[in-house]
Structure 1
Amino acid sequence: MDPAAIDLVDVKAQYAPLVPEYREAFERVLASGRFIFGPEVAGFEAEAAEYLGVPHAIGVANGTDALVLSLEAMGIGRGDEVICPAFTFYATAEAIARVGATPVFADIDPVSLNLDPDDVERRITPQTKAIMPVHLFGRPAPLAELARFGLPLIEDAAQAFGAEGTGTTGICSTYSFFPTKNLFALGDGGLVGCLDDGVADRLRMLRFHGSREKTTFELVGTNSRLDAMQAAFLRISLPHLDSWNAARRAAAATYAELGLGDAVELPPDEPGHVYHLFVVRTTDRDTIGAALKEREIASATYYATPLHLQPALRYLGYEAGSLPETERAAAENLALPMWAGISREQQERIVETVLDVVGAAAAR
């Protein structure tokens, strides 16, 4: 690949400055012989709980397990309904279905792309046991408005570790440490932040086959543990998260300063947004994407087939047109490169390309 090519997320650039510390952590864990649970996992859980402002943080294998185990620990299952968006990654609804509950899709706000509280309210039934808002692309969902319905919240914060105002409203908040996330592992990992002592106790058992100790099993659980090596790496990364998120916000401001908003609809600059992804809206998406690709600049479309239209979820009975704002966002979104170390020069190339395409289209 051309060295001048621009990735959607430059993973190597994110972790490269910390490689010496990661090597030291690797050697430390290797020398300890403690690869499952142990002091690194306990240490990261304590540090994450303090950062998030919650009494409990429970490490698990990945962000999907964080969702599934949260639902199970809250006693949600067959016959229950959980309201969530359809404009999100499949794992959100998949987790609900995996515990035997029914995903109920609500439409999104056309500006924030997060759950529309008014549409959520219309979909509440006696079977509704929880609402699962997603802090999409790093933008906080309207938690206060959703909490007024009096239903438990499970915050899908996979894309929003460190986003202001998140993680302390829902009984559980779930996180992913996939390598492209704002707080990333060098592999896979997940976490549940929890406000309830009883739910946290069940989460700890569920991640370890439903057991408090190896010989007695109180629940039917699974094997979902954050390993010690990833926990050690995450302990190194966590102190840098605020500066990384600030750099992402600065990069978002640079896109606006360079005039990108003259060509596409920019995401609203809201307090707390940590820009896991920088997603614009445009009806010229395919043309812009092709031009960027020609200049070796990556872009991406997210959730082009929203969840209510996915083959695996056809049994829920949704049809095209049933969630109009969701479907419009799916047809118009375009993610542009974003990471904590993206340079102004790279952003200038990106914006120049987009402006060239839109200007040429307008001149035709």
Structure 2
Amino acid sequence: MRYITDNVLKNITFEEEFLIKLFNTKEFKRLARINQLGLTNFQFPGATHNRLSHSLGVYQLAKKFLKKFQEDNIKIDRLTYQAILASALLHDIGHGPFSHLFEQISKINHEKYSLKIINDQSTEINKILREENDKLLEAVNLILQGKYHLDWVNQLISSEIDVDRLDYLLRDSYHVGLDYGKIEYNWLIRNAKIIDNKLAFSQKAISTIEAMILGRYHMNKVVYNSPKNIACSILFIWFFKRLKYLFNLNKLENDYQEIIPLLKEEELSTEKFLNLDDNTIWCFIKKAFSEKDQILHKISTHLIYQKRATVCDIDELKNMDAKEEGFTWEKIDLKTSFSFYQESNHSKEALILFNDHKIKKLRDVSTVINIKVNDYRNLKTEKIGLKI
């Protein structure tokens, strides 16, 4: 048994030895060096929590759901039980530096890297999964791809109401200092059901589910995709774009060996990917600070001293140097440019169980959902100007 104190869920507990081993792998501990919200701490200084704490939270919430189902006399075989907890713990193992921002650079989503790490026989994670159960690796692969033979298992890990979203709302809102993610998660878990092989919730939990979806909407609008947060994040994009530009012209003076595959727009090997974290990238940003190129120096200065790009009216960009577009100024569509936290599709909608044992989709019974305040399309769609 191992206990870990958590500031959001209070306690994280490990009973199974193989899960403790997964927690202690170098691949998992790397997540402690990856900020959960990228550069959001430029705007919200408290947002310095990492992917490791989030992964632990997702694991603990999954364990709470499983305990509830077992109390309901739902039969869960050992392989499924182990695979769910391992998948919850490892669901974000493929995140790169600065989390979702890295996906903008590598053009590869973190889910693909997660599968690469889990299936690469050179990783400690792969070895532990294979040694624990010869079918466990395959089961984890299927769950992370949403292809497990039990629908409720896939829904628990990835759906409109899943353990991932539940934890990041609780955790992110706590660290940015906002109340949008204050959700009665224990009440939600108490009202969770498995009906006809699908994850459902009692009608008593509708208000809690609505609060969760409203919270996600407000976190999207105020934090994740706010103009100010995009103004911070765009610097990271500009930095790599300028670095690639100078690399192709052979005008870089310092050594950037570890990220040359990125500059060449090549897919990173598992080994090279695992060598990257926030600290690595900060080292390159500091190196770039001494480059002679004034634009790269300017971007690096803003990043190092936490100066975000200026949000301005589109008209203010009319007289900007066209050669610097995409490096020091840019027009950004708030709806499409940084869509890191979009809503799930209808195939993953939450199901509600009524007292008459009828199951309905949440959108068919919720006034809040019917007015679509949770729909990503309701976020601002106009373009803004950003410049440094």
Q: TM-score, normalised to structure 1's length?
A: 0.31
Higher helix share: 2
